[in-house]
A and B are shown apart, each in its own frame.
Chain A
C-alpha cells in the first residue's frame, strides 16, 4: 500500500467518523427530548375532550402526613413568611371527625376545579377562568385583587398574596395583590398531558400512600374514570351542584 492510498484511507475514515459524530450529535438530543416532543404544541388550544381531575382515597391518606402540602409548596415556591393567617396555601390537610360516630378521616383540601366554579362567576374582570379541560386558574395579569372569588369559594381554596414575593419560579408566576390557588400543576399537564402527575400526587406516591390519583375524567379507559365508575366517589358540598373535578372516596 503506497503512501497515497494510505492518505486516502485515512481521509475516508476521518470523513466517516465526522459523519458518525455529526449524526450522533444530531440524534442524541432528539432522543433526550422525545418526551418533550410528546407535549402539546403551544399553538394547540386545550380541548374539552379532556376533563382533568383528581380522585382522593381518604382511606390511604394518613393523619399527620403532609407530603402533598410540602410537594405543592416546593413545586410552586410557596415559602411562607411564618404568618399562617396570610401565607398562601394551595393545598392543606384537614382532619375531620364525624360527630355522631367519632369516626375520623384525614384528607387534602384544594381547589376542586369545579365545572360550575363560583369564583369564575363572581370575578368582575374574568381573571378567574376555567379552561376547556376543566382546570380553574387565575390570570394574574387582569386580577385586580378584589378577593370576591375568595368570598365565593365554598372550599376556602384561594389565597391572596399579602406580601412582596422574591425568587419566584418561572413556571409558577405569582404577584403581590392578586389571588391564587391550585393550578392542578397546569405546567406539567401542558407538557405531559395524561402522563403528568401533579406535585401533590407525586409526593403522596413517593411517601408510599398513593392516595391521590390524577387523570382524565372524560376518558372512560382511564384509571380515574374506571375507579369512579366501579367504586363511586363523593363531591364535597355536592349540594351546591358544582360538579367538582376533585372527587373523594372513603368518606361516608
Chain B
C-alpha cells in the first residue's frame, strides 16, 4: 500500500525530546502523588465535600473523555466519510483519541474514594446505571480505537480499517451521548435533568477534540519539521469554528428552555446572572468571550486565520473555554441548592438552601493536570516508536470516496 511507507517514527535524538518526556513524567508523578495524598488522608484535603461532591478532577476527566471522542474526527472523516485528504492523519487522530481517554479515565479512577476497588467496578455491574454503561463504552472505545490504529498500520488488515472506522465512529457518538447522559439522567438536579445534555456533549466533543487535534498537529509539525498540508489546516480550522457555533447553539437552547419554565429560572439566574458567585463570570468571560467569541473572531478573520500561530491560539482558547464550560456545568450545577420544597425557604446546619462552597485544591489540580500529562506522554512515546506521523505532506485535496 502506498500509504504504508508514507509514515515513520519521529526522529527524536536531541535533548528537546528527552526534556519533554522528563517533564511529562514529572507531571504524571505529581498527579500520582496527589492521588496518593487524597486516598491516604481522605478527600477532606480536597475542596470537594458533601454538597459539591465532584470537583476539579471531574472537570479534567470529563474534558479529556469528551475530547477523546472528538479527536477521532479526522480518522472518521477519512474512513467513514471517504475524505482521502485526511487519510495520512487518521493514525494520529486515533492515537490521540486513545491517549485522551486513558488520561481522562486515569483521573476519574484515581479520584474514586476506593480506587483500589477498580476490579470491583470491572466485575460488578448494575446495568440500569448509565455510569456502568459508560465503563463499557470507555473500555470498548480504547479497544476499538486500538484495533483501528493497528489495522491502519498493518498492511494486510488495511481493507478492514474502514469497517472498524465505522464501528469506532458509531461507538464514539454513543460514548459522548453516554457521558452527557451522566448529567442528563440526574432527575433531581435543576441544573441537569435535560435530554439536551447528550447532543450538547456530542457537539462539545467535536469542538474540544478538533481543538486538541489541531494543537497536536501544529505542535508535531513544528517540532518534527514535517509540514502539514495547508488544505487540511484550512478545513480543520473551518470545521472547528462550525463546531464551536454548534456548542453555542446547544448552550443557548438549554438556557432558553430553562428560562421559559418558571420552575427553572432560578438555575439560569444562578449560572448566568448571579454576581455573588463565580459561575456567571466564568460563563460570560471564560466560556463565551475567551472560549467562543474570541477564537471565532480569530478563525473567521481572513487575514489572521491563515496563520498557524493564530490557529494554535484559537484552539488553545477553545480548550480553555471547554474546561470553563465543564467547570460551570459540573461544579456550578452542584453548587446550586437542591429544591426540596418549592415555594419555601429552607435552612439547616447541613447547608440546605445555601449555595455549595467549593474551591479546588492543589492536589485536585495536580491530579487533573497529571491526566493531561499522561495523555501527552502516551502520544509523545507512541509517535517515537510507531509509524504514526506522515513523513511528508499529503497530496493535494481530492475528496473522492475511499473505495
A residues contacting B by CB (< 8 A) are 81, 83-89, 92-100, 109, 118, 120-127, 142-148, 150-156, 158-164, 175-179, 236-237, 240, 251
Contact A240-B341, Cβ < 8 Å, known A142-B124, A161-B42, A177-B42: no
Contact A84-B126, Cβ < 8 Å, known A146-B113, A240-B188: no
Contacts of A164 in B (CB 8 A): 41-42
Cβ of A234 to closest chain B Cβ, rounded Å: 10
Partner of A95, one of B41, B49, B338, B347: B347
Cβ of A98 to closest chain B Cβ, rounded Å: 6
Contacts of A154 in B (CB 8 A): 187-188, 338, 340
CB pair A85–B51 under 8 Å, yes or no, is: yes
CB pair B352–A94 under 8 Å, yes or no, is: yes
- Give the one of B39, B49, B338 with max A CB within 10 A: B49
CB pair B112–A177 under 8 Å, yes or no, is: yes
Report, as a range, how many residues of chain B touch the other chain. Answer: 35 or more
**Interface status of B381 (Cβ within 8 A of chain A):** no
CB pair B131–A146 under 8 Å, yes or no, is: yes
Partner of A145, one of B113, B186, B334, B357: B113
CB pair B347–A237 under 8 Å, yes or no, is: no
Tell me the bound Cα distance from A83 to B343 in angstroms. Answer: 30
CB pair B350–A156 under 8 Å, yes or no, is: yes
Contacts of B343 in A (CB 8 A): 98-100
Contact A94-B348, Cβ < 8 Å, known A122-B185, A142-B124, A160-B50: yes
CB pair B130–A122 under 8 Å, yes or no, is: yes
B25-33, B114-122, B238-246: which lies at the A interface?
B114-122
Ordered by A's residue number, 22 sampled pairs between the chains whose C-beta atoms are within 8 Å are A84-B350, A85-B51, A85-B351, A87-B50, A88-B50, A94-B346, A97-B344, A109-B340, A122-B185, A124-B131, A144-B113, A144-B121, A147-B113, A151-B189, A152-B187, A153-B188, A156-B338, A160-B50, A160-B53, A176-B42, A176-B113, A236-B340
Cross-chain pair count, CB within 8 angstroms: 165
Contacts of A87 in B (CB 8 A): 50
CB pair A84–B117 under 8 Å, yes or no, is: no
- Give the one of A81, A95, A142, A146 with max B CB within 10 A: A146
CB pair B53–A125 under 8 Å, yes or no, is: no
Contacts of B345 in A (CB 8 A): 96-97, 99
Tell me the bound Cα distance from A237 to B403 in angstroms. Answer: 57
**Interface status of B157 (Cβ within 8 A of chain A):** no
Contact A162-B346, Cβ < 8 Å, known A125-B120, A126-B124: no
**Interface status of B349 (Cβ within 8 A of chain A):** yes
Partner of A125, one of B44, B126, B185, B186: B126
Q: With contacts A83-B44, A85-B351, A150-B50 known, what are 8 further pairs, Cβ within 8 A? A: A85-B49, A92-B352, A95-B346, A120-B126, A122-B185, A155-B340, A156-B51, A177-B113
CB pair B126–A126 under 8 Å, yes or no, is: yes
Instruction: For A83, give the chain B residue with the smallest CB separation.
Output: B44
Contacts of A175 in B (CB 8 A): 114
Contacts of A142 in B (CB 8 A): 117, 120, 124
Contacts of B398 in A (CB 8 A): none
B residues contacting A by CB (< 8 A) are 39, 41-44, 49-51, 53-54, 112-115, 117-118, 120-121, 124-126, 128-132, 135, 182, 185-189, 334, 338, 340-341, 343-352, 357
Contacts of A85 in B (CB 8 A): 49-51, 351, 357
CB pair A92–B53 under 8 Å, yes or no, is: no
CB pair B348–A93 under 8 Å, yes or no, is: yes
Contact A144-B334, Cβ < 8 Å, known A97-B344, A123-B126, A123-B129: no
Cβ of B334 to closest chain A Cβ, rounded Å: 7
Cβ of B347 to closest chain A Cβ, rounded Å: 5
Cβ of B219 to closest chain A Cβ, rounded Å: 34
Instruction: For B108, give the chain A residue with the smallest CB separation.
Output: A146
Contacts of B49 in A (CB 8 A): 85-86, 162
The 3 nearest A-B residue pairs measured at CB: A145-B113, A177-B113, A154-B188
- Give the one of B115, B126, B128, B182 with max A CB within 10 A: B126
Partner of A143, one of B53, B113, B182, B340: B113
CB pair A177–B114 under 8 Å, yes or no, is: yes
Contacts of A89 in B (CB 8 A): 50, 350
Contacts of A162 in B (CB 8 A): 42-44, 49
CB pair B186–A124 under 8 Å, yes or no, is: no
CB pair A86–B113 under 8 Å, yes or no, is: no
Instruction: For B346, give the chain A residue with the smallest CB separation.
Output: A96
Partner of B50, one of A86, A98, A122: A86
Tell me the bound Cα distance from A123 to B22 in angstroms. Answer: 39
CB pair B50–A152 under 8 Å, yes or no, is: no
Tell me the bound Cα distance from A123 to B129 in angstroms. Answer: 6
CB pair B348–A109 under 8 Å, yes or no, is: yes
Tell me the bound Cα distance from A179 to B113 in angstroms. Answer: 9
- Give the one of B113, B128, B130, B135 with max A CB within 10 A: B113
CB pair B351–A84 under 8 Å, yes or no, is: yes
Contacts of B125 in A (CB 8 A): 124-126
Partner of B117, one of A92, A144, A153: A144
CB pair B113–A95 under 8 Å, yes or no, is: no
Instruction: For A66, give the chain B residue with the smallest CB separation.
Output: B349
Tell me the bound Cα distance from A160 to B112 in angstroms. Answer: 11
Tell me the bound Cα distance from A251 to B185 in angstroms. Answer: 29
Cβ of A72 to closest chain B Cβ, rounded Å: 13
Tell me the bound Cα distance from A93 to B349 in angstroms. Answer: 7
